[in-house]
Structure 1
Amino acid sequence: MASVWVGSRGTIRDYTGFNASKDAETVRKAIRGIGTDEKTLINTLTERSNAQRQLIAKEYRAASGKDLKDDLKSDLSGNLERIMVALVTPPAVFDAKQLKKSMKGSGTNEKALIEILASRSSKQMKEVSQAYYTVYKTSLGDDLSSDTSGDFRKALLTLADGRRDENVKVDEHLAKKDAQVLYNAGEKKWGTDEDKFTEILCLRSIPQLKRTFDEYRNLSKKTIEESIQGEMSGHFEDLLLAIVQCVNNTPAFFAERLHQSLKGAGTDEFTLNRIMVSRSEIDLLDIRAEYKKHYGCSLHAAIKSDTSGDYETTLLRICGGDD
């Protein structure tokens, strides 16, 4: 069965000549030795696909009676620990954990919630919701509900439900109709009908929305972004704009997020790790191309100038080449 977490534009692929028990043994030696052999750990785990890492973890447990994730946690620390643990976590569980972390504690990290929920497909969201329930014994919807409010909450819940249409065929008539509904709900009326925006932007297929946005521009002489910026505010506005960005160009959306996590004082490792790991088998090659196009330097160079040590090595391995 093809995984919904693997695309054709990733930097990491299945390793040919893969041998799970041999890799598990290599990893075990790297962890068990006097002092951890980080280089071997990094080389092994960044050169295997996530599906292969799951098999290594299985063999590791069979051979040592221990959980690879736990051993990595007790043996490594800081950013290196976090990214290595991320690499051995199944993608749906990884997303679930990132969502949980974004809601835990005193403040909510809305940016992370928006990034994940705006960019995942319905099939992916269904798996994430299942994983969330398995790990936390509470539903993702319930946690989102108690952590957010208003139109923002409504839209997040619609996305978390994984009900976006995935049909690739475009219905021209519907595109015209939806464009008119959006126009009537926003630009044309005094006050905005937010529900209509949520309904269309969170439920229609990506190709359908592309067409609708074209129709919208013909109709209102404005882009859908301009209208959203003029009509909405706060996190709800941020979420709708993120959805539009993902519809128009998902890799460019992630390139911008990576750029924000790397520029300025201090690195936002939470975002950096999440995007590098979660897109490494989907579209990181395209994200790299967009990064170079928009920011004039390669993602590789940006990571190099902003991180150091084994953590830097790991990120660069995931990144793949320099553009």
Structure 2
Amino acid sequence: MAGFGSKGTIKPYPNFNAADDVQKLRTAMKGMGTDENAVIEVIANRSLAQRQEIKTAYKASVGKDLEEDLKSELTGHFETVILGLLTPSILYDTQELKKAMKGAGTNEGCLIEILASRSEEEIRNINVTYKLKNGKSLEDDICSDTSFMFQRVLVSLATGGRDQSDKVDDALAQQDAKALYEAGEKKWGTDEVKFLSILCTRNRRHLLKVFDEYKKISKKDIEASIKSEMSGHFEDALLAIVKCTRSKPGYFAERLYKSMKGLGTDDNTLIRVMVSRCEVDMLEIRSEFKKMYGKSLHSFIKGDCSGDYRKLLLKLCGGED
């Protein structure tokens, strides 16, 4: 939710009035039970900036945090989505990263998703917020929670040091493609560091050129080479970087598809992607989803979720296409 964009499904609400919205929310939470529809009506129809104003107005007029009141009224995945929508985007990413490394076991998919898809500016802001909130740096937590090449690729991404220019150096692109070929397909064993250093530091346009040059040299797509040369979470991380470089909406469409496909739903991933992309590029994600899987994201959510949770996710999805 890095700022409101025209590619999002959630737009700023016209004739917005924070005081009116506070009243609607208070009414929705009054008495026995909660009017979830009224909560959706307000929270999922306002932009992130407007939701922050509602939170301030609520605290000023009620003397309590809106989140605390909602927590005591709501439950389950519905509650998780609503609280996510009320959280500023950088703080939301920070909380998700912390949660991914908390306790026994690590949610590697979450770490890869956030660190491979956010802009360098967002990564730098996440680092600052993470340290403020947790008293430890993001890098420290990554190092104590992961190991080997997977740790190194995450640390590299978390540094936020990717070249930000649009410059494409054709000679360097050919050199990079050759270096990748020689580090993988051409040799016995793989030089993982070479892949890491090129994929984590070059700018997007340059990398697209590298991928084209790579295909000419090796007669294989870079993704196919990564799959045959790498393994485990390190492979997943490199593939995520390539996919995000080619198309972030395509990458998130695949994340959503995999979260709902097969038995059981990966609600953590489903919620995180829907909350974090609804104001950024959800319209493009929807379009890619339909292209890639032949069915609409809307129909997948409809068949996979139920009740108010489904209603809320469909609202964030925005439409049936």
Q: Same fold (TM over 0.5)?
A: yes
Deviations 1:234-292 (A, max 9, x none): 11011101111111121111111111111222211101100001010111111111111
Matched with 1:233 is 231
Deviation of the 1:313 alpha carbon = 0.8
Q: What's the C-alpha RMSD, in Å, of the aligned pairs?
A: 1.4
Matched with 1:97 is 95
Deviations 1:212-233 (A, max 9, x none): 1011111221111122112111
Given the superposition, is the C-alpha separation of residues 248 and 195 from structure 1 closer, same or farther in structure 2, using an over 3 Å criterion?
same
TM-score, normalised to structure 2, is 0.96
| Partner Cα distance (2:11, 2:168) in 1 | 32
Gaps in structure 2 of 5+ consecutive residues: none
**Paired amino acid for 2:24:** T
1:195 and 2:210 matched: no
Q: Percent identity?
A: 54
**Paired amino acid for 2:159:** D
Deviations 1:148-177 (A, max 9, x none): 011110110111111112212322222122
1:252 and 2:250 matched: yes
- Alignment equivalent of 2:164, drawn from 155, 163, 166: 166
- Alignment equivalent of 1:16, drawn from 14, 17, 29: 14
Deviation of the 1:28 alpha carbon = 2.3
**Paired amino acid for 2:113:** E
**Paired amino acid for 1:243:** I
SS at match of 1:170: coil
Deviations 1:58-84 (A, max 9, x none): 111111111111111111000111010
**Paired amino acid for 2:212:** D
Matched with 1:185 is 183
SS at match of 1:311: helix
* 1:251-290 equivalence runs, <5 A: 251-290=249-288
SS at match of 1:164: coil
* 1:1-323 equivalence runs, <5 A: 4-323=2-321
Deviation of the 1:126 alpha carbon = 1.2
SS at match of 2:13: coil
Kindly indicate whether the alpha-carbon contact (under 8 Å) linking 1:31 and 1:37 is maintained by their aligned counterparts in 2: yes
Kindly indicate whether the alpha-carbon contact (under 8 Å) linking 1:121 and 1:164 is maintained by their aligned counterparts in 2: no
SS at match of 2:298: helix
TM-score, normalised to structure 1, is 0.95
Deviation of the 1:17 alpha carbon = 1.5
Kindly indicate whether the alpha-carbon contact (under 8 Å) linking 2:2 and 2:280 is maintained by their aligned counterparts in 1: no
Kindly indicate whether the alpha-carbon contact (under 8 Å) linking 1:5 and 1:124 is maintained by their aligned counterparts in 2: no
| Residue range with higher mean Cα deviation, 56-65 or 177-186 | 177-186
SS at match of 2:185: coil
| Partner Cα distance (2:187, 2:157) in 1 | 26
**Paired amino acid for 1:244:** V
| Residue range with higher mean Cα deviation, 144-153 or 169-178 | 169-178
Kindly indicate whether the alpha-carbon contact (under 8 Å) linking 1:183 and 1:216 is maintained by their aligned counterparts in 2: yes
Kindly indicate whether the alpha-carbon contact (under 8 Å) linking 1:50 and 1:90 is maintained by their aligned counterparts in 2: yes
Gaps in structure 1 of 5+ consecutive residues: none
| Partner Cα distance (1:71, 1:166) in 2 | 42
Deviations 1:91-124 (A, max 9, x none): 1111111111111111111111111111111111
Deviation of the 1:134 alpha carbon = 2.1
Kindly indicate whether the alpha-carbon contact (under 8 Å) linking 2:2 and 2:89 is maintained by their aligned counterparts in 1: no
| Residue range with higher mean Cα deviation, 66-75 or 80-89 | 66-75
Report how many residues are paired: 321
